Every structure is written in structure tokens, then in C-alpha cells.
């Protein structure tokens, strides 16, 4: 039997503290960089990625770094790193047919220096979203939030009174995905520790993921089905949305495995967690039995499908698709967990290079649409992205990953991030957003699965 669900949840923290910020500044490359116009790929500029996504890293005090200021170290390293990643210092422009390009103006990245009257220990043993005072630890500088004609990165480094610090970053998602961001942050961390240049040289080449001429939509893309029906989750105002994080360790995964039939007992951890969450979430939202629900998950295409002809090492753009599987509410909630596991397995099995090419062609022929949000649950697995491994010289982050669940004002997205529980056990943390009453029902449903004999 798994631990009681209360031990798996991180509820909204009550910690309150003050953050004193200096005026934000623009950090520019230390050397002249090319001033050209770089087109984004046809995956980058889809409507679904035209938003800002926040990340946060917590670092302990390190006595060996005495006399070094993380603010100055990271600020200086950022200016040097932008010589290589100079498109990040530019601004997005929109051309005909909503095509996005980066104008490499070298205007710079927004950087804010801050101090907080709080220690890392006061955040608790297990750092998990939602984080207290997040809007102060990663302050959205007024006028910087737009997708076009605004800084593509915003960084805030906040010193803590214990000697540790918090690194917050806001990314314009059209520029990079999780692995692309990790590549940039790895370069930044290398420069912070004295490297002359990044070990992996950045590669633009966004034309690799451009539509074919002529476009050939050869696959069915349920992730972009037209569906304008009402969804109680989407109709809830942000004030009514609750966020909690759920931890899945070895005990929880073992329990889930016991719920599935022998033919799918060798399913991956991702498949088991995703199937479980989709089922519990659907029950919690109390949709009508005959309604269609959609499970969408991100599949990255790096290191797959003829790598010598596909994406080169150093590519830091968005390189993924999010195929979907469908089910009626009744089938999903009344069948055993094996049913949803099998649906997810089938999607993964049918995903290939042609699916990605078809997706890109679909964007271009349909005006770069947003994925369907009605009765949709989308997950992104960042457990192998390496965000938690970023080391500016003070050691690896205690927590490194997304700062919250959801994207923008859409609460239907959850990210899987590596984490430790209160006992120091390694596992997967999943922040979830739901309307308050639905969250209460979700906790009950998850508890039923994880603690059923």
C-alpha cells in the first residue's frame, strides 16, 4: 500500500517574506554579434507556444564560494553567453502569414538583482510548486510580457539571508523547449565557472523543421480538433484555480503497476503516472459520460529518426509534437487503468518522423493553430531535461524546474519534474491545477487508486 495521499501533496505554502529588487537592466553580449533576421521554425511559431513560461532554481549556501556574489557571477556570465546565443538578445517580429522571426538587435536580456529576508530552510524540506511569493522571486517587469518586440528572456537572481540564492527565469517559449533551455543554461553555468566558450556550440538551423513544399498533412491530428464546447475547468477564473504538487516515488509506481493487467505491467513510469492522472482528473471534473476527453503529451524528436539527417547537436529550438488520444468519459473512468495505459502506448508506438512532418505541414495550412483545450489534459515530461543539474559554481540546485503548473491562464497542463520527498527519496513531482472543488475530488480519486488493497 502506498503512503497516505496527504504525504504526497504539497499544499499552497503560507511563508511570507520581503524581496527588495533593484531596477531591472538589459544585459547585452560582451562582443559585437550578427545583426540579421533569423526565422523561427514552423514548430516554434505555432500559437500554442506563444506564451511566457517561468522556471525557478534554488541553491544552498556553499562555503567554498565565499567572497563570490551569485548576482555578479551570473550577470557577467550571461553577457558572455549571449555572444554565442545572441538571438536571445534580440526581439521577435511577425511577418506575413503570422510567421515569426528573431531580429538580432543585441538589445539584451532583462536581468534583475534582488535580496530576500528569508532562508532556504524556511521553504521546507521538499521544495515543490506552488512556491510562496513567486511573483516577487520572478517579477514580471511591466511592459516586458508581450511575445513580440519584448525581451525573450527575463532573469532574476535573489540572494537569501542564509547565503543561498534563487535563480528565476522567464522564457518566451517560441525560442526553445525544455531541452533547448537546458542547453542554454548549461552554457551559462559553464561560463559562470570560468569556461572560455560553451562545450556545446549552439546551432540555429530552424529551417530543418519548416513545412514541406507543398505541405502534406498525412496523419490525423486529434490534438487540433475543432471543439468549442464549454469546459468547467477552463471557465473557472484564475482565483478559483487551486494548485498542488503530487509526488510519485517507488511505492506509488509499484502500486500503480499492480492495478494493470499482466500484458501492460512492464509499462514505463511515464505511462503509468499519465494514465492514472488522466483518469483521476477526468473523474474529478465530472464531465458527462458520453463526452470525449483528450490526453495529449509531448514527445521530443531529438536523437531520433536518422539523427545524422535530423536535428544536429546544439539545436536549441522547439523540437517536439504533442499527439493525442481520445476516449469517452465513461470508457476512461469505468474501465480498469490498463485501458488508459494502452491508449497512451498506442500513441507512442505510432509516433514517428512522418508524424512530426505532418504536424509542421498542418500548422502552415491551418494558420498555426493552438492545440485543442476543451476537455484536454496535457503533460510534459521534464525529468530527463537536466534542468535540475544546472550548477553555477554553488552546486546543483535543490530544486530546478518549472515554477508552476499550467501555461499562462490555461490550467490544463502539468509538468513532470525530478524531485525528492521529505524522506530524501528520488521520484517524480507533478504540479496539478484544478478548480477548488475538483481538486478535492481529485485527491480522493488518487487516494483511492494508491491505497486500494
Give the residue numbers annotated as catalytic, written as ranges.
173, 391
Q: How far apart are CA 215 and CA 335, in angstroms?
A: 39
Spatial strand order of the sheet with 91-94 comes to 37-39, 100-103, 91-94
Alpha-carbon gap, residue 147 to 172, rounded angstroms: 7
* 42 Cβ contact partners less than 8 Å away, ≥ 6 residues apart: 209, 210, 211, 360, 363, 364, 368
Spatial CA neighbour of 415 closest among 427, 424, 406: 406
Peptide bond into 130 cis (omega under 30): yes
Residue-wise over 293-331: b if at least 16 C-beta within 10 A, else e?
Answer: bbbbbbbbbeeebeeeebbeebbbbbbbbbbbbbbebee
C-alpha angle with apex 421: 415 to 425, nearest 5 degrees? 105
Amino acid at each position: 500500500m502506498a503512503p497516505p495521499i496527504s504525504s504526497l501533496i504539497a499544499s499552497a505554502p503560507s511563508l511570507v517574506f520581503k524581496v527588495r529588487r533593484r531596477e531591472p537592466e538589459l544585459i547585452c553580449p560582451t562582443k559585437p554579434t550578427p545583426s540579421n533576421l533569423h526565422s523561427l521554425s514552423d514548430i516554434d511559431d505555432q500559437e500554442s507556444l506563444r506564451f511566457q513560461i517561468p522556471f525557478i532554481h534554488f541553491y544552498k549556501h556553499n562555503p567554498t564560494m565565499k567572497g563570490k556574489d551569485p548576482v555578479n557571477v551570473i550577470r557577467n556570465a550571461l553577457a558572455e553567453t549571449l555572444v554565442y546565443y545572441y538571438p536571445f538578445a534580440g526581439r521577435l517580429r511577425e511577418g506575413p502569414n503570422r510567421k515569426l522571426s528573431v531580429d538580432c538587435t543585441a538589445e539584451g536580456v532583462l536581468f534583475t538583482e534582488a535580496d530576500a529576508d528569508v532562508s532556504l530552510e524556511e521553504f521546507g524540506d521538499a521544495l515543490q510548486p506552488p512556491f510562496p511569493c513567486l511573483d516577487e522571486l520572478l517579477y514580471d517587469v511591466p511592459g516586458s510580457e508581450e511575445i513580440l518586440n519584448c525581451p525573450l528572456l527575463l532573469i532574476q537572481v535573489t540572494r537569501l539571508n542564509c547565503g543561498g540564492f534563487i535563480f528565476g527565469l522567464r522564457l518566451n517559449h517560441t525560442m526553445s523547449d525544455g531541452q533547448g533551455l537546458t542547453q542554454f543554461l548549461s552554457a551559462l553555468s559553464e561560463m559562470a565557472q570560468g569556461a572560455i566558450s560553451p562545450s556545446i556550440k549552439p546551432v540555429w538551423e530552424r529551417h530543418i523543421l519548416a513545412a514541406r513544399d507543398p505541405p502534406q498533412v498525412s496523419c490525423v491530428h486529434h490534438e487540433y480538433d475543432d471543439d468549442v464546447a464549454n469546459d468547467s475547468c477552463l471557465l473557472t477564473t484564475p482565483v478559483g484555480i487551486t494548485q498542488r504538487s503530487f509526488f510519485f516515488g517507488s511505492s506509488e509506481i509499484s502500486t500503480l503497476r499492480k492495478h494493470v493487467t499482466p500484458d501492460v505491467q512492464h509499462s514505463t513510469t511515464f505511462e503509468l503516472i499519465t494514465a492514472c492522472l488522466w483518469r483521476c482528473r477526468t473523474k474529478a471534473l465530472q464531465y458527462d459520460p458520453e463526452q470525449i476527453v483528450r490526453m495529449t503529451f509531448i514527445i521530443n524528436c531529438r536523437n531520433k529518426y536518422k539523427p545524422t539527417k535530423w536535428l544536429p547537436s546544439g539545436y536549441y529550438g522547439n523540437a517536439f509534437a504533442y499527439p493525442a488520444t481520445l476516449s469517452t468519459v465513461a470508457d476512461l473512468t469505468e474501465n480498469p487503468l490498463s485501458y488508459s495505459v494502452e491508449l497512451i502506448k498506442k500513441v507512442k508506438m505510432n509516433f514517428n518522423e512522418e508524424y512530426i512532418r505532418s504536424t509542421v505541414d498542418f500548422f502552415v495550412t491551418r494558420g498555426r493553430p493552438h492545440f485543442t483545450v476543451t476537455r484536454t489534459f496535457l503533460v510534459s515530461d521534464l525529468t530527463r531535461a537536466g534542468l535540475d543539474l544546472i550548477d553555477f559554481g554553488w552546486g546543483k540546485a535543490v530544486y530546478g524546474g518549472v515554477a508552476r503548473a499550467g501555461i499562462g491562464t490555461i490550467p490544463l497542463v502539468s509538468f513532470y519534474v525530478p524531485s525528492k520527498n521529505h524522506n530524501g527519496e528520488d521520484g517524480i513531482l507533478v504540479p496539478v491545477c484544478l478548480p477548488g472543488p475538483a481538486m478535492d475530488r481529485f485527491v480522493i480519486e488518487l487516494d483511492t487508486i494508491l491505497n486500494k488493497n
